[in-house]
Structure 1
C-alpha cells in the first residue's frame, strides 16, 4: 500500500496511544497491507523468537480429535468430511443471508511453543469447492495456566459465492485480542505470554451435497520478537536472482474498487501472484473470464478478488494470501517471521522467493520513491555485495518492478518492530513477517532450508 491513509493506518495510531496508556483499543482494522499489532517486549537471551508448527501428515491428523472427519486419501494427506457431526445455520454478516450447513470438526493436540509468545498467526492450506468452506479457531494457554477463548482466526473459502471470506472483529478477553489475523497479548511488558495452543478446524458443506473441503496444512507461527527500532547488521551474503514475473499494482489503479478501492492497495495479492507464477501456476482463462476484456495482467485482479477479506475491507490479510496461493495445484504456503537476512538469503539461494511486509518513510528506503504505513514486495535475489533485489509492485509499470535496495536500509525496515512516522509518533513494524510459498516435492536443498526454519 502506498496510497492515502487507510483504516489500518488509523489503527496503528490507536495502538500506539493504547500502548502508552497500558491498554489496547478494540477498534477493527481494515485497509491495505499495513499491519498493526500489540506492542512487543524483549525475549530472554538465547531463546529463539519464533516457533512454527504445522499439521500436515497422516500421523499428524491422527494425533488430533475428529468428529465427522476422515483421511482424504490420495498422494497428499489431508482432512475431509466423512459422516457429518451435525448441522447448523450461518448468517453471513456481509450478505445477510442465512444458510444451513453440515459440518465436521477436528481439534489438534496441544502444541507447546518453544517460544512463550506475544503473538500468534495461523495458516491453512485447503481446497474448498463451491458449496463448502472452512473455519479456523485458536485457543491459547497463558503462562498462568488459564486459557483464552476459542478465537476465530478466519472464515475462509476459495470462492465468494457461498460465504464472504472474513476475519472477525471484537475478539478479546481483557488479556489478549485478535487484530484481523493476529492474536496478540495486550500488555506484553507485564510479562504475560502464550505458552501453548490448540487449533480447531470446522469443515462445512451444503446439506446432502456429498461435497467436502480438503485441508492439507494447518498450523501457526508463535513469536516474541524484541522491541527494537534498529536491528544488528547481518554479514552480507549473495543469492542468485530468481526469474520471478514482474507485475505492477499501480497500473490497476481504480480497477475493481469494491476490492479495497482498486489496484493502488493491491501490493499483497500482486506479490502473491508474482510468486505463484514463478512456480508455474496461474488461473485459467475460464477462471479469468469475469475480468473486463482487455485488462492488462487480469490475474492480478483475480488475486485481489480472491484474497479480499470482507471484514478487514482489504486484500492484505496475511493468512488469506497464503491460503489463496495454496489453492493452486500442489502448493504449500505459510505466514511466518524470519530472524535475519541470513534466513532470507538461505531461502532465496535455494530457489524460494519470499514475500516480505514492511513500513517506512520515503527517506528510509533509497530508490523507493514513496513512504508507506505497510507494503508487501517479493525478494528475488541478493547482489554480490548483499543488497536486496526485490520485485516491488508499487511501480509505475511491470518493467519498473525490479528494484535493488540498499541492504542495511531494507534489513532494518523489515526486521524492526518500532518506527517513527512523519510526525515523530511511534508506530509498529512487522518484525520480519513474510509469506513463504513452495511446491510439493521441493529440492533437497529447499527441503533442508525449509526444515531448518520449521516450515515443513
Structure 2
C-alpha cells in the first residue's frame, strides 16, 4: 500500500505501510543505540517506500561539555481534553478515571503482512493525530513512549512526523507496532527508516549529523488503532508522548553533590537475570541478555503488581522467578531480536493494573535522589569497562539497572540484575563512577575506540494515582 500525496503536518495518510522492506541480522542493539551519539547515518529512504541503502555510520566530532540550561523536553497527551484535541478519524475520547482513546467507527480496512510470521490479514483501523508540539529543546533525538491496553484481536501503531530547523519535514516514521500479547502480530520496531537527515534506530529518532546544527523543532504523533474486522474490540490508549533532547557530546560528567536522597533505600524485589541463562533462547538467547525486562519486573512488583498464575502457565514448571521469563517474552522486539527496546519495556509495565510509565532522560543523580525520596525507583541505562565501575566485576556495551536508594555518603544503591543469584542483586556503587557511565554520551571501549553512551536515559514507572509528593516530583520533570 502506498500513501497518496498529502501535507505532512495535516493531510491524509495510509495507516499501514506494510512490513519493513529489509531486515537485519542479530546485533547488539544496546551497543548500536549507545553509539548514536558518535555516528551519523548516510543516505536512505523513508519507511513508506523501498529502502535503497542501509545507513552507514560515520563519526561525529566531540565538543567540550557545557551543561545546557535545558536539555530535555517531555510532552505527553493523557487527559480527556488532550484526546479531544488534534485530528481524529474513527476514534473517540473516553472520559473517566483514566481518560483514553478508542475506536468509535473504523475509518477503513487495511491489510498488514507480519514480517516475522508471514501472515497477512485485514484489519479495521481508526486514527488520531496529535496537535503539533513545539519542543522547548531543538532536539537531536526523540524517543516516543505510550501506555495502552490491547485486548486479543487488537494492536496499535505509533508514528512521528517532525519539522527540522531548516523548515523541512521528516517523513512519517514508525516508532513501533505494538501489542501487549503476541498472538495477533509480533510487536516490532521498523528498520531502514531515513530521509538523509535523520534515521530511526530501533526506538530512537536521531539527527544524522548533529554537528551540522540541524535540529528537530516540532513534532506530532499519530496513533493508528487496529482490530479484527466485524468485531467491537478496541485498543485503549491512555498516554502517548515523547522525550526530545539535545545532549552535548561528553566523555566526562562532573559528579553531583549528595543531597536529599542520602540514607534512603526502597524495598524493591531482587531478581537476577543470570538465573535464567539458557532459558527460552528464542527471546534474545535467554536470561544473560534480559537486564531490561528483569529490571522492569523488579519495579512492577515493587508497586504491588505481578502476573497471575494463569498468565504464567506457559512457563516451564520449576523455573525460578517465572515472572522474569514472562517479562522477557512480552517486551521482546521481533525486529531487533532483543528485550531491550526502551518504549516496549515501558509499555509492558503499563499493562499492569493502574500503572503509568515513560522513557525519559534525567540530568543528574540529584534528580534520581528526588524521585527515590518520593518513593519512585529509577531504571537507568549505562555502558562501561570493567574497571570503570568498581565492584561490578564485568564490563558491558549496554546494561539496565535500578537505582533503589543512596547510602549516607551519597553512593548509589542499585539492584543489578547481572548478579549470580537474587541475593546478590543489591549492590553499592560509587556515586561519581555511576554518574559518569550513565550520563556521558561518549566513551572508549577496551580497544581504545570511541563508542557512545546513553546520556542519562531511564525508565520511570508509577501508579496512575501517585501520592502528592510523587505527583509533584513527576510534574517538576514534565512527566504528568
TM-score range, shorter chain: over 0.9
166, 183, 189: which one aligns with 1:161: 183
Note closer, same or farther for the CA distance 1:331–1:420 as it changes in structure 2 (3 Å cut).
same
Matches of 1:336 and 1:37 in 2, distance apart?
25
Matches of 1:113 and 1:13 in 2, distance apart?
23
The residue number in structure 2 matching 1:350 is 374
The residue number in structure 2 matching 1:449 is 473
3-state SS of 2:320 partner: coil
Contact 1:229 1:418 in 2 (8 A): yes
3-state SS of 2:470 partner: helix
Note closer, same or farther for the CA distance 1:28–1:398 as it changes in structure 2 (3 Å cut).
farther
Matches of 2:30 and 2:331 in 1, distance apart?
20
- Cα distance, 1:451 vs. partner? 0.3
Greater shift in the superposed pair: 231-240 or 55-64: 231-240
Contact 1:132 1:212 in 2 (8 A): yes
The residue number in structure 2 matching 1:405 is 429
Note closer, same or farther for the CA distance 1:42–1:79 as it changes in structure 2 (3 Å cut).
farther
The residue number in structure 2 matching 1:424 is 448
Task: Write the deviation string for residues 144-179 of structure 1: whole angstroms up to 9, x where unpaired.
Answer: 111000000000000000000000000000000000
The residue number in structure 1 matching 2:312 is 288
Matches of 2:295 and 2:59 in 1, distance apart?
22
Note closer, same or farther for the CA distance 1:302–1:310 as it changes in structure 2 (3 Å cut).
same
62, 80, 104: which one aligns with 1:58: 80
3-state SS of 1:299 partner: helix
Contact 1:269 1:304 in 2 (8 A): yes
Q: Does 1:82 align with 2:90?
A: no
The residue number in structure 2 matching 1:299 is 323
- Cα distance, 1:71 vs. partner? 1.8
The residue number in structure 1 matching 2:192 is 170
Note closer, same or farther for the CA distance 1:97–1:354 as it changes in structure 2 (3 Å cut).
same
The residue number in structure 1 matching 2:386 is 362
- Cα distance, 1:74 vs. partner? 3.1
Note closer, same or farther for the CA distance 1:347–1:16 as it changes in structure 2 (3 Å cut).
closer
The residue number in structure 2 matching 1:32 is none
- Per the normalisation by structure 1, the TM-score is 0.93
Note closer, same or farther for the CA distance 1:382–1:58 as it changes in structure 2 (3 Å cut).
same
The residue number in structure 1 matching 2:274 is 250
Greater shift in the superposed pair: 264-273 or 60-69: 60-69
Contact 1:37 1:182 in 2 (8 A): no
- Cα distance, 1:63 vs. partner? 1.3
3-state SS of 2:399 partner: strand
Note closer, same or farther for the CA distance 1:317–1:334 as it changes in structure 2 (3 Å cut).
same
Contact 1:141 1:195 in 2 (8 A): yes
Matches of 2:198 and 2:246 in 1, distance apart?
14
Task: Write the deviation string for residues 425-449 of structure 1: whole angstroms up to 9, x where unpaired.
Answer: 0000000000000001111111111
Contact 2:39 2:59 in 1 (8 A): no
Note closer, same or farther for the CA distance 1:330–1:455 as it changes in structure 2 (3 Å cut).
same
Matches of 2:236 and 2:208 in 1, distance apart?
34
The residue number in structure 1 matching 2:29 is 8
Note closer, same or farther for the CA distance 1:51–1:37 as it changes in structure 2 (3 Å cut).
farther
3-state SS of 1:424 partner: coil
Task: Write the deviation string for residues 381-436 of structure 1: whole angstroms up to 9, x where unpaired.
Answer: 01110000000000000000000000010010000000000000000000000000
- Cα distance, 1:73 vs. partner? 3.4
- Cα distance, 1:7 vs. partner? 3.3
109, 120, 124: which one aligns with 2:146: 124
183, 206, 210: which one aligns with 1:188: 210
Task: Write the deviation string for residues 75-98 of structure 1: whole angstroms up to 9, x where unpaired.
Answer: 210000001111111000000000
Contact 2:34 2:398 in 1 (8 A): no
Note closer, same or farther for the CA distance 1:140–1:407 as it changes in structure 2 (3 Å cut).
same
Note closer, same or farther for the CA distance 1:344–1:212 as it changes in structure 2 (3 Å cut).
same
Q: Does 1:433 align with 2:454?
A: no
Task: Write the deviation string for residues 193-222 of structure 1: whole angstroms up to 9, x where unpaired.
Answer: 000100000000000110000000000000
3-state SS of 1:228 partner: coil
Matches of 1:38 and 1:305 in 2, distance apart?
36
The residue number in structure 1 matching 2:302 is 278
Q: Does 1:326 align with 2:350?
A: yes
The residue number in structure 2 matching 1:179 is 201
- Cα distance, 1:72 vs. partner? 2.7
- Cα distance, 1:8 vs. partner? 2.8
- Runs of 4+ in structure 1 deviating by more than 2 angstroms, as ranges, are 5-19, 22-29, 36-47
Structure 1 residue ranges without an equivalent (≥5): 30-35
3-state SS of 1:348 partner: helix
- Cα distance, 1:11 vs. partner? 3.8
3-state SS of 1:87 partner: strand
Task: Write the deviation string for residues 92-119 of structure 1: whole angstroms up to 9, x where unpaired.
Answer: 0000000010000000000000000000
How much is the aligned-residue C-alpha RMSD, in angstroms? 2.2
